Every structure is written in C-alpha cells, then in structure tokens.
Amino acid sequence: MQLGLIGLGKMGGNMAARLRDKGHDVVGFDFNPDVRDVDSIAELVQRLEAPRVVWLMVPAGAPTAATIEELAGLLAPGDLIIEGGNSHYVDDRRRADELMDKGVHYVDAGVSGGVWGRENGYGIMVGGDADDVARAKPVFEALTPDTGGGYVHAGGVGAGHFVKMVHNGIEYGMMQAFAEGYELMAAADIVDDVPGTFESWREGTVVRSWLLDLLANALEEDPELEQLRGYAQDSGEGRWTVQAAVDHAVPAPAITAALFARFASRQEDSPAMKVIAALRNQFGGHAVTRTVDDPSQTLRS
C-alpha cells in the first residue's frame, strides 16, 4: 500500500527500506534533502492518494506536535495519521480528539527494535479504533518480524504508546537488576571471573535474555567496564511509567529504583546527602562531626 513517512533518520530510514523491500510504496520526507523523496510536507500530502496514511517518526515533544499541526491543516477527512514516535499516551488521546474534529483519524504505534529492526523486523504496539488499525495492517505486517509475532493491537488510542512506555519501564527494572548483580560480584573478592559468569548464564538459566547477551558482549569488549562512566540518561518513558504507576496507585518499587538510580548517576554531588552530612555534623554539637548515635566513635579507649 501507499504510505507517507515523515522522519527518515536511523529509525525512519530503516523502516522505509524494510517497507519498500516488502513492496510498499513509501513517500518519505525529512529535513535532510539527501534522503527525502519530497521537499515539503505539503508536497508529501499532495503525492498521496486519498484516503491517505501518514506515518510520523520524528522526535517526541515539540517536533511531533508541530508536524501534526502542519499535517492537520493539509489532510482531508478520512485520512489517517500514525504517530510512531514516543508520544505520551495522554497527548495521543488529546490529539486524536482534536484531529477527529476535522475528520482526521489517529493511531499511535510504539516501535521497538533499533538498528536490528531493518532486518529482523520491529516490535509494534498499536493503539486506535479497530477500523483505523485494520486499514494500516499491511504496514504493521511488513514492519514486524516475518514470523508473525511482535505485534499487538493493545487498545484504543494511546494504548500503543502506553504499553511501549511500560515495556521501557520493565526494561529499566531488568537493566537495574543486572547492574546490581554485576556490582555485587565485582565488589566481592570471592568472584574472580565476572565476565565469564555472565557469559555462562546465557544458557540454561532463568535470567537468559537479550539484555544478558548484550551485557556479556559488553564485558567481553571491556571486562571491567573501564572505558565507561557510571552515568545514565533516562528517556522520558521511564519517568512516565513511574508517574502512571502513581496515577493508578500501582506500587512499582523496582522500576522506580531503576529510575532514581539514573537520576543519582548524573549528579556531581547529592544535595540530599549533604543534608545527611549536615545532620550528622549537628549531632555532635558545634563544629564537631562526631555522631551521637555511635558512641564508639567518640571514645579514645
């Protein structure tokens, strides 16, 4: 089928290639003139036959909002936007309502798979009305693995991004579990071969997983991770997961621990720990750092 695709970066570009391999007619736009098929969004809309399907693969936040606003002014009733970026599910629902006032349909799609997706297929999680999702089904089928897996229509508008958000939250928790296990083994004198231990777990164990494979690879390249700093960004989706958990009164201590560990990793110094230090100083009286709660430290005998 024919598809407009806005955003031809690493993700969008690979997706366009996979779709064309599967016989779809992709009309692509990007700010980079070297990779695009048309020179503007207006031209893209013109080139597509109505009812149009336009897939967005642009950065979350303002770029996605601006692109949708521009599209909203160009598309016709019956056209369909598929938002494949990392929008927040609440924004999806608001946008879908606004677009529907103009007769433009909206489906959200969470996409997983990274650089391997071009060849192996992407995980696609979709939210939207059944009719809209059905219309785009050939595209989803082309993008997902040839095995027939890797696809879910999770619910109404927003559900695709919601479950992709939760996927990422789970990913945070799993990564943190491996990270804590690594640190404990690295800290214990008793363990001589930490990389070999992770490598051995890749077969026959409960923790075998793609993340374990990646970790074993990383430790093969750099057995003590000396080339790296313990510094981790967080994507918005980890934060959203915790906030959604709070909104829904769902305890999520492991995922939240993972998020907070990332926050802490980016601090030069911890204001909270300054308070702990200040209080410990205060225990001992003026200009004294001894603590009341540990008399042993205050004895010379």
Residues belonging to the active site: 164, 171
Q: Say if residues 252 and 261 touch (Cβ distance below 8 Å).
A: no
Residue 187 is a binding residue for a second copy (CB under 8 A): yes
| Distance in Å, CB of 77 to a second copy, minimum | 26
Distance CA 260, CA 203 (A): 31
- Can you tell me which of 122, 131, 132, 133 binds a second copy, judged by CB under 8 A? 122
Residue 293 is a binding residue for a second copy (CB under 8 A): yes
| Cα-based distances in Å from 112 to 9, 65, 267 | 15, 21, 29
Binding mask 201-230 for a second copy (x = CB under 8 A): xxxxxxxxxxxx-xx-xxx--x--x--xxx
Choose between 51 and 213: whose C-beta lies nearer to a second copy. 213
SS3 29: strand
CA atoms within 13 A on the CB side of 29: 20
Residue 139 is a binding residue for a second copy (CB under 8 A): no
| Cα-based distances in Å from 78 to 1, 102, 299 | 16, 9, 81
Residue 295 is a binding residue for a second copy (CB under 8 A): yes
Choose between 101 and 233: whose C-beta lies nearer to a second copy. 233
Residue 106 is a binding residue for a second copy (CB under 8 A): no
Distance CA 293, CA 282 (A): 12
- Can you tell me which of 116, 134, 137, 223 binds a second copy, judged by CB under 8 A? 116
* Longest alpha-carbon distance in the chain: 89
Residue 300 is a binding residue for a second copy (CB under 8 A): yes
DSSP codes of every residue in 276-288: HHHHHHHHT-TT-
Choose between 23 and 190: whose C-beta lies nearer to a second copy. 190
**Residue 156 backbone dihedrals phi, psi, to 5 degrees:** -70, -175
Residues within window 60-99 making contact with a second copy, judged by CB under 8 A: 60-61, 63-64, 84-86, 89
Residues within window 25-54 making contact with a second copy, judged by CB under 8 A: 29-32
Residues within window 155-184 making contact with a second copy, judged by CB under 8 A: 155-156, 158-159, 162-163, 166-184
Amino acid at the residue 192: D
Choose between 52 and 240: whose C-beta lies nearer to a second copy. 240
